Structure 1
Amino acid sequence: MKRKSTLILALLLPLQIIFIKIISNYPQFVETWYSKTLYPEISRIMRISLGILPFSLGDFLYAFLVISIIRWLVIRIRQRFKNPKKWILEAFATLSIIYACFNIFWGYNYYRLPLHQSLGIDNEYSTEELIRLTESLISRSNAIHSELAESDSVKIDMPYDKNELFDITLKGYTNIKKQYPELTYEGESLKRSLYSIPLSYMGFNGYLNPLTNEAQVNTIIVPYKIPTTASHEIGHQLGFAKENEANFIACLATMNHPDPYFRYSGFTFALSYCLNELYRRDKEQTDEIIKTIHPGILANYREVQEFWLKHQNPLEPMFQMFYNHYLIANNQAEGMKSYSYVVALLVNYFEDPETQFQL
């Protein structure tokens, strides 16, 4: 009986992969029946049930999986990989269960409608529109910086501890849900990652555990970056699986935040994307525009850059390459380069007159 069940589970793995290939061609179906119907209930239940834990169950689950894999390899080596039919079948059966849980609990969101369609905004823009937005973001960022700093050359430090930053993050979603009800966040499950140090050396700010729907934040990063990072992971929890879309949602939640420090984090985060895209298109124009940014804002940018330079290591490119392939495998054809889509969303969001008064 056990062998029959193992065989069935193993055979379900290729069937699941075929099913994914099929539904990836029907984003409206995924959007309607999974992302807006089934997933919100799954996500809410998981967040409410696990959010009460003061630690990340998902981090312990990852540790258990790693230990189990190492144990499995040791046993196979000791047995010299004897009886391959049995252990290969068991391995495929286990992968089948994990793959099913990944997709049912969260992964099908990779195949939903693009965010610009679900939010009703365009995704095309010209260089002239990009320049106008960049100048507007500089003006807004400079204004908030002047409000918070004694002089334009002083960098901004967050006046909150890391627990307070998590609590305050949620207020941004309370604000933005008035305009976008689909961004309503109920059931807090935002936690410090137990692996913040290794995450820093791998080059990651945080992650969502798709098996527990807990949002983990790397809390040793520069505090100035925690508001957008935490907001980004909440975006994932709400079912926006693609990195570029979660980044845009992080911009919305922080730029519309009632707290000026969070707005500063959000506007300068959005500005960094525009500057990078403008630099790619017109280096000379970018060099001129950067001169209009308060030195204190540039100091914050340097602070973040110095943090990542401090944590560089020879293995980081390998981790980034692995993650890039993960993105490509999950319906993000351009991998990490697809992050530039954030700029298209920002340009068209600001071009919409109905959104102007809110920012």
Structure 2
Amino acid sequence: MTKRTKILIALSFPLQFVLIKILGYFPEFVETYYSNGLYPYVSKLFRIIFGWIPFSMGDIFYTIAIILIIRYIYKNTRKIRTEYKRILMDIYITITIVYFAFHLLWGMNYYRLPLYKSLELDRKYSTEELVNFTERVIAKANAIQFQITQNDTVKVEVPYTTSEIFEKTKNGYDNFSAIQPKFTFTHQSLKTSIYSGFLTIMGFSGYINPFTNEAQINGKIPVYKFPVTASHEKAHQIGFSAENEANFIGCMTALHNDDIYFKYGAYNFMTWHCLKEVFNRDKDEYERLKATVNAGIHKNYEEVRAFWEAHKNPLKPMFKFTFDQFLKANNQSKGILSYSYVVSLLVNYDKKHHIVP
């Protein structure tokens, strides 16, 4: 790379930063020309290129990148004092290129129109509406749990392999996109991360690789969580970066899946999140509603709690804080707390479309 090229790349970073922040004030523009314009072509291309490969190429690329970084540090440690300008320039250029690639290939979706607006939903809801919705969700969760186990005290065990679950996610997206075409999904690229152990240490169930558009699932999490988690990561692939929106889409596609275990995953997910929100608003109502949930469902919740408790470590809060700051830097003002906003989408979507009988 010539010195002139390096200077041009270096100068582009502040321009990129300012342009992205300006575009953040025009979500309709981003929605039209990026999220529904350029991005679908880019994402499909990468899913076609990498989707057929049975393992995560993104994880392989990250491994190579880490090796190259270690190699660079080893080769240049002794040169810091004499060649610090060159080293700082190399680091700055690398950050500039990664920043550009991230936003071009996926990251600009953080600045798109909020989903509640594109779905024409209310943003607020009353506690009475929340309680009513939660009662109906719990009734469906109880019914499906009993239908599967024939015993309301037995936790649900999903009898599928990981690859079977991944394949079955297609049905939910096909069914839901028939109602809401904006969630159409083609060209599968859903994989178990080779770094599942590291994801567990970090406290994450999955992630999308923004540079290869592969959806990665933590292969160590309880299997009953796979249907909604896999569906959640696929939502990121079609351009919904916000965690609350990916949660909503993952839940809705699992709910509309013909498979009963996917439906259970969706109702289990909704019950958990709705109860948390009821607790925030009315603790007496929370205790009343919690007591109506089948013991078998509580055992599934305990399974998840015990899993994360068994892998508790001092590094997890640091990773959570880092991800929280990452979200806030990318137009998610509430950071990790934005996950809870899924309840608003669920309650208001049900008010409009009556998804829970």
TM-score interval (norm. to shorter): over 0.9
Q: Structure 1 stretches of 5 or more lacking a match?
A: none
Q: What is the count of residue pairs matched by the alignment?
A: 357
Cα distance in 2 for partners of 1:77, 1:228 equals: 45
> Which residue does the alignment assign to 2:111?
111
Structure 1 residue 23 corresponds to structure 2 residue 37: no
Cα distance in 2 for partners of 1:199, 1:356 equals: 33
> Which residue does the alignment assign to 2:146?
146
Deviation by residue 1:197-219 (Cα, 9 ceiling, x = unmatched): 11111100000000000000011
Cα distance in 2 for partners of 1:33, 1:81 equals: 46
Cα distance in 2 for partners of 1:110, 1:120 equals: 19
Query: What TM-score, normalized to structure 1?
Result: 0.97
Q: CA deviation at 1:274?
A: 0.5
Aligned CA distance change for structure 1 residues 91 and 299 (closer, same or farther; 3 Å):
same
Give the counterpart letter for 1:44 in structure 2: K
Give the counterpart letter for 2:7 in structure 1: L
Cα distance in 1 for partners of 2:98, 2:257 equals: 37
Cα distance in 2 for partners of 1:92, 1:13 equals: 9
Q: CA deviation at 1:71?
A: 2.0
Q: Is contact 1:232-1:246 (8 Å) kept?
A: yes
Structure 1 residue 57 corresponds to structure 2 residue 57: yes
> Which residue does the alignment assign to 1:254?
254
Q: CA deviation at 1:13?
A: 1.1
> Which residue does the alignment assign to 2:46?
46
Cα distance in 2 for partners of 1:237, 1:81 equals: 44
Matches within 5 A, 1:321-332: 321-332=321-332
Q: Is contact 2:80-2:87 (8 Å) kept?
A: no
Q: Is contact 2:193-2:217 (8 Å) kept?
A: yes
Q: CA deviation at 1:356?
A: 3.4
Matches within 5 A, 1:133-282: 133-282=133-282
Q: Secondary structure at the match of 1:207?
A: strand
Cα distance in 2 for partners of 1:70, 1:282 equals: 52
Q: Secondary structure at the match of 2:80?
A: coil
Q: CA deviation at 1:223?
A: 0.3
Matches within 5 A, 1:1-12: 2-12=2-12
Cα distance in 1 for partners of 2:73, 2:92 equals: 15
Q: Is contact 1:76-1:82 (8 Å) kept?
A: no
Q: Is contact 1:9-1:92 (8 Å) kept?
A: no
Q: CA deviation at 1:129?
A: 0.7
> Which residue does the alignment assign to 2:74?
74
Give the counterpart letter for 1:332 in structure 2: Q
Structure 1 residue 356 corresponds to structure 2 residue 352: no
Deviates more, 1:164-173 or 1:82-91: 82-91
> Which residue does the alignment assign to 2:93?
93
Q: Structure 2 stretches of 5 or more lacking a match?
A: none
Cα distance in 2 for partners of 1:27, 1:60 equals: 34
Q: Secondary structure at the match of 1:125?
A: coil
Q: CA deviation at 1:171?
A: 1.1
Q: Secondary structure at the match of 1:220?
A: coil
Cα distance in 1 for partners of 2:80, 2:342 equals: 50
Q: Is contact 2:56-2:193 (8 Å) kept?
A: yes
Cα distance in 2 for partners of 1:234, 1:286 equals: 32
Deviation by residue 1:55-93 (Cα, 9 ceiling, x = unmatched): 111001111222222222222312234222222222211
Q: CA deviation at 1:166?
A: 0.7
Q: Secondary structure at the match of 2:241?
A: coil
Cα distance in 1 for partners of 2:246, 2:24 equals: 19
Q: Is contact 2:155-2:297 (8 Å) kept?
A: yes
Give the counterpart letter for 1:185 in structure 2: F
Q: CA deviation at 1:120?
A: 2.0
Deviates more, 1:338-347 or 1:80-89: 80-89
Matches within 5 A, 1:269-348: 269-348=269-348
Q: Secondary structure at the match of 2:82?
A: coil
Q: Is contact 1:131-1:278 (8 Å) kept?
A: yes
Q: Is contact 1:158-1:224 (8 Å) kept?
A: yes
Cα distance in 2 for partners of 1:356, 1:231 equals: 18
Query: What TM-score, normalized to structure 2?
Result: 0.98
